Amino acid sequence: MKYSVGANVAARLALAGMCVFFFSWIFGCAVGPNFVRPEPPSVSRYTHETQPTSTVLADGQAQQFIQGGEIASDWWRLFNSVKLDSIMRAAFANNQTLQAAQASLRQSQENLRAGYGVFFPQVDASFDAVRQKSSLARFGEGSTSKIFNLFTLSATVSYALDVFGGERRALESLQAQVDFQHSTVLGTYLTLSGNIVNAVIAQAAYREQIKATEQMIELLREQSSITETQAQTGIIPYSNVLSLRSQLAATEATLPPLQQKLSQTEHLLAVLEGLTPAEFIQPQFTLAELTLPSNLPVTVPSELVRRRPDILATEAELHSASADIGVATAALYPSFTLNGTYGQTNTSLTNFFKNTNSFWSVGPDVTAPLFHGGTLWFKRRAAIEGYNQALANYRQTVLSAFAQVADILRALEHDAEAVRAQSQALIAAEEALALIQANYEAGTINYLQVLIADGQYYQAKIGYLQAQALRLQDTVALFVAIGGGWWNIEERVPGT
Is 111 part of any domain?
yes
Angle (deg, nearest 10), helices 255-272 and 166-232: 150
Crossing angle (nearest 10°) for helices 166-232 and 238-253: 160
- Structure confidence at residue 386 as a pLDDT band (50, 70, 90): very high
Query: Is 29 a residue whose pLDDT tops 80?
Result: no
pLDDT value of residue 143: 62
- For residue 229, tell me if it sits in a domain: yes
What pLDDT sits at residue 339? 93
Q: Does residue 8 form part of some domain?
A: no
Instruction: For residue 297, give the CATH number of its domain.
Output: 1.20.1600.10
Q: If you count them, how many residues does the chain have?
A: 496
- Provide the whole-model pTM: 0.86
User: At residue 30, what is the residue type?
Assistant: A
**How confident is residue 222, by pLDDT bands cut at 50, 70 and 90?**
confident
> What does the pLDDT look like over 82-110, one tens digit per residue?
999 999 999 999 999 999 999 999 999 99
Q: Is residue 234 part of a domain?
A: yes
What residues form DSSP beta bridges with 135? 145
**Whole-number pLDDT of residue 496:** 53
Question: pLDDT tens digits, residue range 172-181?
Answer: 999 999 999 9
Residue 9 confidence (pLDDT): 46
Looking at residue 311, its pLDDT comes to 97
Domain count, the chain: 1
- Distance from chain centroid for Cα 202: 23
At residue 444, the pLDDT reads 81
Asked if 9 contacts 340 with a C-beta cutoff of 8 angstroms, the reply is: yes
Is residue 287 in a domain? yes
Residue 491 pLDDT > 60, yes or no?
A: no
Q: pLDDT grade, residue 51 (50/70/90)?
A: confident
Collect all residues with Cβ–Cβ distance below 8 Å to 271 and sequence separation of at least 6. Answer: 277
pLDDT at 355: 65
Cβ contacts of residue 449 below 8 Å, gap of 6+?
Answer: 436, 439, 440
- Residue 141 has what pLDDT? 63
Residues 45, 149 contacting (CB under 8 angstroms): no
Q: What is the pLDDT of residues 334-351, one digit of tens each?
A: 999 999 999 888 888 777
- What are the tens digits of pLDDT across the range 388-404? 999 999 999 999 999 99
Question: Residue 245 and residue 221: Cα distance in Å, rounded?
Answer: 8
Per-residue pLDDT, 146? 77
Q: Which pLDDT does position 366 carry in this prediction? A: 92
Residue 362 lies in a domain: no
Q: Residue 127, Cβ neighbours under 10 Å: how many?
A: 10
Q: What confidence score (pLDDT) does residue 349 get?
A: 79
Query: Which amino acid is residue 126, in one-letter code?
Result: S
According to DSSP, the residues that pair with 364 across neighbouring strands are: 338
Q: Residue 93: which domain range?
A: 32-120+162-336+375-492
- pLDDT given at position 488: 77
Is the pLDDT at 372 greater than 70, yes or no?
Answer: yes
pLDDT of 286-325, one tens digit each?
A: 999 999 999 999 999 999 999 999 999 999 999 999 999 9
